[in-house]
Structure 1
């Protein structure tokens, strides 16, 4: 399957009424393969995990090399890959466009670009540059008005409008959990709306009812994995048998690394 066909399939997953794309975020080959084996046709990366694994800060533009390396590892795998590229690791739109070209060349079909509450015009210029350089790449434009700011509605709408006009294929507002405001954004935007899942926010089913097109898990799975490791070692130290799912050594070492444990697979699309 060519990259052009792949990205068409990826875009189509954002346009299924009442069935949002549930997009889990992996941090290495093993986690991505395990998620693919559970039936997830599309998988994203998470910048926090990439940064944490390298001992670097997230959101500071320090992990361009590590992000490209992970994309190279995962881009040829039989699932649709979207890459969390922070703000594109540069202020210069041309440099961000070059990053997009490199990601596309290794099989990536989507990119997530965050504005970090920087100038909306600069972020829009990055989006336009990426779409001019790699028209087929699905650009998910993230605004951090709720994640880093105070969630002023007018600013959120102004930024999303600018990013859509620049050519964004989807828009992302992490940190927003209020159902009424989510529904209002769905009605306002022409591009598919992406919401970050929160254990304290609406369920995937509720988000689907609101018209959300994509539900990302962000760093949640990575943080849960770290938490499970800490829980397990505390259980062992206390003489208890650790609970939870534990893939076997053989499953993790399998040539295709498709971890398949006893619970039934799901097909979230």
Structure 2
């Protein structure tokens, strides 16, 4: 059995070596096992994938911290791979909430987690920098007390809320870096030029959400990106396949979807 500390060290090593690695996002234990079987080196949870699995919308505070931690625990237990988690806004506006969320993440075996600066409030979608920094500082204090390297991710949410202000995004990530974040992430960047500018503006590993402007993993590696995640895309692909099959059943009464379904024996073997 691989210990949490061993997973943490191997996860940090992925960030320390040259190049860029893919960090796919399972939404449950089964998808985690399938990704591990394909040879990925680490996994990240997805708030969107979890929300959709629970029959809830994503990004509006409907998924609880208990549900998020329980889901992360199941994914951690499913494989020997390092797992980092999407911990949303830390499940509370106060710095103490972010710190408690990190404590609970550590307790279920995670070796990394992100705290975003989204407020879930329509008229003010992101926190002021000063308050956002206080939340990262509180989370970082928990991380500093550990005997292994838990990678705290500082997330700037501007672009996901229609605030395409690269300058402010960079200032935020620079502040989160100073506050103790070891990885930086600004989901929603739209061009390779924005990614390149961000990477050059910080001195921590940068996570990018898929490939803006059609960029491949190789393209992003050339820009200095250290890791690439896909958010809820794999979960949406799975739900897309399900809906396509269900619509065929409902609208045509045919069963052609079974030709593309993964064989029962293959899944049984993968989950054995």
Matched, 1:115 2:124: no
Gaps of 5+ in 2: 119-125
Aligned to 2:164: 151
Matched, 1:178 2:209: no
Aligned to 1:187: 200
SS in structure 2 of the partner of residue 147 of structure 1: helix
1:165/1:245 Cα in 2 relative to 1: closer, same or farther (>3 Å)? farther
**Native 8 Å contact 2:98 2:115 kept in 1:** no
Aligned to 1:21: 21
Q: TM-score, structure 1 length as denominator?
A: 0.87
Alignment partners' CA distance in 1, 2:212 and 2:189: 12
- Give, in angstroms, the shift of residue 122 of structure 1: 2.2
User: Which structure features the higher share of helix residues?
Assistant: 2
Count of aligned pairs between the two proteins? 256
**Native 8 Å contact 1:61 1:90 kept in 2:** no
The farther-off stretch of 61-70 and 242-251 is: 242-251
Of 213, 228, 242, the match for 2:257 = 242
Alignment partners' CA distance in 1, 2:181 and 2:243: 40
Task: Give the 5 Å matches for 1:29-44.
Answer: 29-44=29-44
Matched, 1:224 2:225: no
Aligned to 1:53: 53
**Native 8 Å contact 2:192 2:213 kept in 1:** no
SS in structure 1 of the partner of residue 158 of structure 2: coil
Of 197, 202, 214, the match for 1:201 = 214
Alignment partners' CA distance in 1, 2:213 and 2:32: 25
More contact order relative to length (CA 8 Å, sep ≥ 6): 1
- Give, in angstroms, the shift of residue 240 of structure 1: 6.3
Matched, 1:8 2:9: yes
**Native 8 Å contact 2:191 2:213 kept in 1:** no
The farther-off stretch of 231-240 and 100-109 is: 231-240
Gaps of 5+ in 1: 259-269
SS in structure 1 of the partner of residue 106 of structure 2: helix
- Give, in angstroms, the shift of residue 154 of structure 1: 1.9
Q: Map Cα deviations across residues 132-180 of structure 1 (whole Å, 9 max, x no partner).
A: 1133321111111222133212211210111000110111111113112
SS in structure 1 of the partner of residue 114 of structure 2: strand
**Native 8 Å contact 1:177 1:201 kept in 2:** no
